[in-house]
């Protein structure tokens, strides 16, 4: 089943986000290589694909896991959480409807 993982950033953590990004992306690439990643990306803090110093307000990852517990365990090991980027992480089951 798919699970939506939403991380909400602390304010002013762009430097920490950039420092932890290679490890964060490597984990996403591993999910992609396993065919389990539906989508992933950040929420720009302003209405721009490149928010510059405004940074980001969080991230969304939708990926397949064997259970809610497995999805939570994966999210709890995120480098952004360890680096203090995320203030909160929410993990919920997700049902993909479209595109089919």
Backbone angles phi, psi at 87, to 5 degrees: -85, -30
User: What is the model's pLDDT at position 97?
Assistant: 97
2-94 homologous superfamily:
Dimeric alpha+beta barrel (3.30.70.1060)
Task: Measure the CA–CA gap between 84 and 92, rounded to whole angstroms.
Answer: 21
Q: What is the DSSP letter of 52?
A: G
- Please, what is the average pLDDT of the chain? 97
Q: Where are the alpha helices (DSSP H) in 1-100?
A: 14-33, 68-76, 79-82
Single out the residue of 100, 98, 78, 51 nearest to residue 90, CA to CA. Answer: 78
Domain limits, the chain: 2-94
- What global pTM score does this model have? 0.95
Sorting pLDDT into bands at 50, 70 and 90, what band is 87? Answer: very high
User: How many helices and strands (H and E) does the chain possess?
Assistant: 3, 4
pLDDT in tens, 24-54: 999 999 999 999 999 999 999 999 999 999 9
User: What is the model's pLDDT at position 100?
Assistant: 86
């Amino acid at each position: 089943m798919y699970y939506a993982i939403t991380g909400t950033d602390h304010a002013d953590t762009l430097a920490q986000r950039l420092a932890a990004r290679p490890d964060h992306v490597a984990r996403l690439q591993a999910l992609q290589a396993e065919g389990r990643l539906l989508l992933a990306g950040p929420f720009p803090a302003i209405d721009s694909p490149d928010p510059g110093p405004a940074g980001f307000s969080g991230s969304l990852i939708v990926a397949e896991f064997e259970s809610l517990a497995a999805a939570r365990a994966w999210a709890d090991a995120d480098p952004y959480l360890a680096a203090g980027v995320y203030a909160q992480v929410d993990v919920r089951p997700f049902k993909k409807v479209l595109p089919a």
